[in-house]
Amino acid sequence: MTPFALVSLLALLFTTPAAAAPTVLLLIDASPSMGGEVATAPAGVEWWRRLLVHAYGLDPPAEAPRDRLGTVRAAVVRYVAHLEATTTVGVRSFGQRRWLGCEDSQLLLPPSLDRGRCTATLAGLQAAPAGNTPLAYALREAARDLLTLPAGGDYHIVVFTDATDLCPEPLPAGDRLTHETGVAATLDVITLGLTPAAAAPLAVICRGTGGHLYPATDLTTAEIALRRCLPLTPRQHLAAALRLDPDAWPVAVAALVLLLLALIAWLEVRSEG
């Protein structure tokens, strides 16, 4: 590298503005069905789950909660504890105050850097004894929450839901919600205990935002889903890029085998040359 090229590279590094710190708004379902129990891990794939725990750099939990909302709460607390200090986190719930019916959503914590407030807010979340799941209404309210923040930020809305007893209002498509509100945010949905067929309609929420739909059944899979939404470390970035997830282990293994075979073939060709 010439001295001129080296100086140009250093100048570029120092003059390039740093990426904006992300803002994460957690949109958490607290409707009655979220008090239900989570599923147990299917037999025969525990080795794959252990591999994923190492791949994503997770700490094995001391004791996993049995209810869905408790699972979300534990996964988020563990995730938030490892976020960069500059990452802003807010919490909005829906379905918790039954008397509001299909307009039941509450901003519990405006986006903040205070991790203690975030943990305390999550600790107070309890599933409602009765009521609906106003997911569409809550999504629009979450987008309005971000309107109060500077334009052009790195905004993420992460939805946790089991999508039971949804209100009649149709779910907004992510790109349409962006157009209507003027808020550009990545929308990810993490489902709890839903079959692929039942979860599929929720994918419309992520459309056109760069987000995805992630199924979860317990604490481990919920944590993995969070780290796929917004990886925190190079290891997690790599695992997310390889799409390592609990439901796709045969595909991942096949891809690794094909990669290994391709490497062997390439080495054979080079040795013959």
Q: Return d(Cα 250, Cα 233) in angstroms, integer.
A: 25
Of 146, 136, 243, 151, the residue nearest 189 (C-alpha): 136
Domains in the chain (CATH in brackets) are 20-237 (3.40.50.410)
The pLDDT of residue 1 is: 45
Q: Is the pTM of this model over 0.85?
A: no
**Given this model, what pLDDT does residue 202 score?**
96
- Report residue 149: phi and psi, to 5°: -100, 160
- Predicted local distance difference test score (pLDDT) of residue 269: 79
Structure-block tokens of residue 29: 């379902």
Output the pLDDT for position 251: 58
- pLDDT value of position 131: 85
Across the chain, which has 273 residues, the per-10-residue mean pLDDT values are 43 45 95 86 68 84 83 94 92 85 92 94 91 93 92 93 91 93 93 91 96 92 93 88 75 68 81 68
Neighbours of 108 (CB within 10 A): 20
